[in-house]
Chain A
Amino acid sequence: MSLSPVQQLFQEAFDLPEEDRESFIDEATDDESLRSRVRSLLASARRSPGFLGSPTLDSQGNAVPDLQLCVLGPGSRIGPYEILRKLGSGGGGIVFLARQEQPLRREVSLKIMRSSLDDDEPRWRFEIERKAIERMEHPGIARVLDAGLTDDDRPWIAMEYISGEPITTWCDAHRLSLEDRGALMASVCDAVHHAHQKGVLHRDLKPSNVLVMRTSDGSPRPCLIDFGIARLSDTGADASQTRPGRLPGTPAYMSPEQIEGRTDALDARSDIFSLGVILYELLVGASPFRDPNSVSREVTLPGRSTRLSSAEAVADLAKQRGQTSQAWRREIRGDLALIALKCLRIDPQERYASADALGADLRAFVAHLPVTAHRPTLRYLASRMIRRHPVASLSAASVMFLLVLCSLAILHAQRQAVIQRELARAERARSEDLFTGFARLIVAGDPEHGRPRDYPLGQAVIDFARHLPGELTRDPRTEARARHTLAHALQGMGESAQARQQFAASLALLDRLPPSESADLLPTVLFGNAISIAQTQPDLASRQLIRAEELLRATKDPDDAYMRIRVLCQLSVLAHDKGDFAQAGSMAANALSSAEKLKSADPDLVARCLWTLARVERSMGRVPEARALQERRAGLLASKYGDDSPLTWDARAELASLDVTGPDPDLHLATLRGLSQKTEEHFGPNHYQALARWIDYARALASVGRREASIEIYRGTFLKAEDPSFTDAGSLAKWREEYERLLVEP
């Protein structure tokens, strides 16, 4: 049964030392009638301590004194600890400095919760929370040493004693620059992220829980205390979280969802909100909220803080940050402010998704790289306006429409003058974005960022492609380039399906841009996309290649000429697979002569043309021509890569396939078999290259009439293709078709 508000508040206050009761009641509720009722009850209890006496009598008829509610103070013992002095008291309980004698002598900080685990609160919940907290192991988190229950069932927790200063006090006292403050907060984020990964939320992040001390080398080290402790004290006082009009402790650093008491909805992003409040204070020197102790989370923009109204105050605050007033005034509208504001969004979805992401942005700020937090867009601001003032916005919307029209007109006039400068700046911004965006991919594998040490690069690329960072999606052209690059990487990893998605997404982005902005990227992306869909949609692939070839023919760029030759080869392959050998032959011949004409003939490119043409010749039954071409190709590749490389193996396999129908088939079959094994060892048994090489071997076996052996190789290859990592369904279907034809052949 839950207690009435009067009884609940009375009991919590009654457990406190008398001098703390008044302030506790003031903080606990803003219901004045509740406060005055509880105050008068406490006064009555104080005036009549013996009222109702001790009703229990012993066998002689003497009153038996009631057991006293445990009053803790210096000298009291809790578990193996002896209390030395009180360090402070907060929402959940009282903190003491305590000493342990055995097994080692040390001082600890001992927190004793105010409320007991009540009868309907299962202890296992306390145990589960306690175990989660004890799993955390991070230099930035004060270790929980021990925990238990007092004689009267109040939870206590012994923590490493950190003799640091609250982060805000420390930064101001040491006049830390904004960069140093950002770096310090990034370390805090590392610790918070570690805990989040262990499934522990802090729930009560505030400067007095983020302590800073100097390490032996003099650098500041932040250390979080009370991690997860708020949850432990919840176990005894869940009801108080949900009762309207009452808050457990001060709301100054709480997220809106916490203030609303939606304890079930809390996740990492609630801690991120609290980090945002601290970050804002480190930047501006004041709370982001107009009234920190109210339930409103309306944020004052950093430049508008009332603390900035007096020049003296500004000078003082700037000095604490090692800056001149002017420089600091500029900074508080800069990237660090944007980062803090992103943490302080009302909707958790709009905040950083993890402490790791916040830390990465803080480090980007420290390194003067672009941050992902950016100014709220017009649409965002408009949506916020409309949410807050649904009726007034009707007219506000029309005013805004006019404003936008005016700005567009002005912009157009200015555009011609600044267009060159703008373009240069835009291009620079894009390359910076690309660089920073991909830098995140490299950083992602760093165990310091919370990923396991064996986080494979392949998985990193896949994860990265799924959730591109903000830098890469801000501008469609940048995003198209990024997705195209990823598509190639995924293709190389054998993740064909995912590569196809990325190619298609990249192409769709480019098709929405004006031709002047997409022309240089379009052929490459069309080509990549065509390759990825060649098996599944050959006609569409052909059309895309023809489009690419037309774009490329128009330019004089040597890179484009190179690209065009590859496009021609691919077109030849598609025509060949459709059975149009004449078309395929002319495309391939065109490609080869163009490749030979290039100033710096690239052996890879020529080899590719040779392969393409040889394939057509062979299909047309002109084996000697095909053989000559393959021989030339093998020579080119061997001179570039040596005899022992996958490309050379491929050329040798092609030659062996041609020769197998001639004299001494066993020799060539053995060659093919050996090359298949080599390729398998090199790429892994389920890689497309390895499987394709085995299929070559199976085909060669079939072509010399060794049907049973061929069938066996086909079957073995299909088994390997069942592995989920093999995703080239098109090739597999083709192979199965050959295999079934072989089965029904007489």
Chain B
Amino acid sequence: MDAPAAELTRLFQEMDAGSESARESMLAAVYGQLRNIAAVRMADEAPGRTLQATELVHEAWLRLGGPQGGGAGWNNRRHFFSAAATAMRRILIEHARQRASLKRGSGHEALTIESVLDLSDAPASDRILALDAALAGLEHEAPEAHQVVMLRFFTGLSVAECASALDSSERTVMRHWAFAKAWLAHHLENE
């Protein structure tokens, strides 16, 4: 086992035991990886090319040594994806703050992860900030629905993967997702 994988395994074990500092370390590690990947991609890619959340997260997973560091267990993947979603959201917010634009979209338009992740321009930067605020409200109103949005929107998990990660059924995930979408759309409309 190489160094990152051993580190990951240790973090997973400590997170299982409920360690808050291990959670923080995991978040820091994922966050660092995601930033690096995004920075490299932006330098490499032509403007207009969007990044994919799934791709970013997957690469971060590989670089952190996930496949060797306990990647098989869903419990570990849950820890990882939860951290990845938070890290991703943080990166997007930072990015959006840097490029805050006066252009405002409306809740009626689709707000896709692709448009948010279009790092070359900032058409949706202001909306990602509004989304962030709405997400905070959602977390208060419906913590489970909030978690579904985090996993699905920021790390691109499918409904089935999300159900598996949350130890829930696909139908329950779909119902949370539907509620979360309605909630967020409503709050962005009225923002």
Chain A: which residue is nearest B177 at the CB level?
A66
In contact, A1 and B143 (Cβ under 8 angstroms): yes
**Residues of chain A contacted by B156 (CB below 8 angstroms):** 55-57
Q: Chain B: interface residue count, which band?
A: 35 or more
B107 within 8 A of A: yes
In contact, A57 and B54 (Cβ under 8 angstroms): yes
Identify the stretch in B14-22, B32-40, B183-191 within 8 Å (CB) of chain A at 4 or more residues.
Answer: B183-191
Chain B: which residue is nearest A45 at the CB level?
B182
**Residues of chain A contacted by B144 (CB below 8 angstroms):** 1, 3
In contact, B171 and A51 (Cβ under 8 angstroms): no
Identify the stretch in B4-12, B65-73, B95-103, B109-117 within 8 Å (CB) of chain A at 4 or more residues.
Answer: B109-117
A50 within 8 A of B: yes
Q: How far is the CA of A64 from the CA of B145 in the complex (A)?
A: 20
In contact, B184 and A52 (Cβ under 8 angstroms): yes
B136-156 vs A, Cβ < 8 Å mask (1 yes, 0 no):
000001111100010011001
In contact, A53 and B178 (Cβ under 8 angstroms): no
Q: How far is the CA of A56 from the CA of B107 in the complex (A)?
A: 21
In contact, A119 and B169 (Cβ under 8 angstroms): yes
In contact, A66 and B111 (Cβ under 8 angstroms): no
B175 within 8 A of A: yes
**Residues of chain B contacted by A55 (CB below 8 angstroms):** 53, 112-113, 152-153, 156-157
Partner of A66, one of B54, B142, B174: B174
A153-175 vs B, Cβ < 8 Å mask (1 yes, 0 no):
10000000000000000000000
**Residues of chain A contacted by B189 (CB below 8 angstroms):** 44, 47-48
B90 within 8 A of A: no
In contact, A116 and B111 (Cβ under 8 angstroms): no
Q: How far is the CA of A551 from the CA of B181 in the complex (A)?
A: 92
Q: How far is the CA of A40 from the CA of B188 in the complex (A)?
A: 13
In contact, B179 and A14 (Cβ under 8 angstroms): yes
B25 within 8 A of A: no
Number of interface residues of A (CB under 8 A): 33
In the complex, which of the residues A42, A52, A61, A152 has the most CB atoms of chain B within 10 Å of its own CB atom?
A52
Closest chain-A Cβ to B84's Cβ sits at a distance in Å of 13
In contact, B52 and A61 (Cβ under 8 angstroms): yes
Q: Answer whether A66 and B159 are a contact pair too, CB < 8 Å, given A52-B111, A119-B169.
A: yes
Closest chain-B Cβ to A618's Cβ sits at a distance in Å of 89
By DSSP majority rule, is chain B's interface helix, strand, loop, or mixed? helix
A118 within 8 A of B: yes
B158 within 8 A of A: yes
In the complex, which of the residues A41, A48, A53 has the most CB atoms of chain B within 10 Å of its own CB atom?
A48
A11 within 8 A of B: yes
B168 within 8 A of A: yes
Closest chain-B Cβ to A125's Cβ sits at a distance in Å of 16
B132 within 8 A of A: no
Chain B: which residue is nearest A59 at the CB level?
B54
Q: How far is the CA of A6 from the CA of B187 in the complex (A)?
A: 14
A423 within 8 A of B: no
Q: Answer whether A57 and B52 are a contact pair too, CB < 8 Å, given A51-B184, A118-B172, A119-B168.
A: yes
Q: How far is the CA of A44 from the CA of B190 in the complex (A)?
A: 10
**Residues of chain A contacted by B153 (CB below 8 angstroms):** 52, 55
Closest chain-B Cβ to A643's Cβ sits at a distance in Å of 83
In contact, A44 and B172 (Cβ under 8 angstroms): no
> Which B35-59 residues have C-beta < 8 A from chain A?
52-55
In the complex, which of the residues B144, B145, B181 has the most CB atoms of chain A within 10 Å of its own CB atom?
B181
A7 within 8 A of B: yes
Closest chain-A Cβ to B33's Cβ sits at a distance in Å of 20
B108 within 8 A of A: yes
Q: Answer whether A53 and B112 are a contact pair too, CB < 8 Å, given A3-B142, A116-B169, A116-B172.
A: yes
B167 within 8 A of A: yes
B121 within 8 A of A: no
Q: How far is the CA of A275 from the CA of B69 in the complex (A)?
A: 65
Closest chain-A Cβ to B169's Cβ sits at a distance in Å of 6
In contact, A14 and B178 (Cβ under 8 angstroms): yes
Q: How far is the CA of A69 from the CA of B110 in the complex (A)?
A: 20
Closest chain-A Cβ to B116's Cβ sits at a distance in Å of 10
User: Besides A50-B110, A53-B111, 8 other CB < 8 A contacts?
Assistant: A4-B141, A7-B142, A48-B181, A51-B181, A52-B112, A55-B112, A64-B158, A152-B171
Report 11 cross-chain contacts, Cβ distance below 8 Å, ordered by A residue: A4-B141, A7-B179, A44-B182, A45-B181, A47-B189, A48-B107, A51-B110, A52-B113, A55-B113, A69-B174, A69-B178
- Nearest 3 CB-CB pairings of A with B: A45-B182, A44-B186, A53-B112
Interface residues of B (CB under 8 A from A): 52-55, 107-114, 141-145, 149, 152-153, 156-159, 167-172, 174-175, 177-179, 181-186, 189
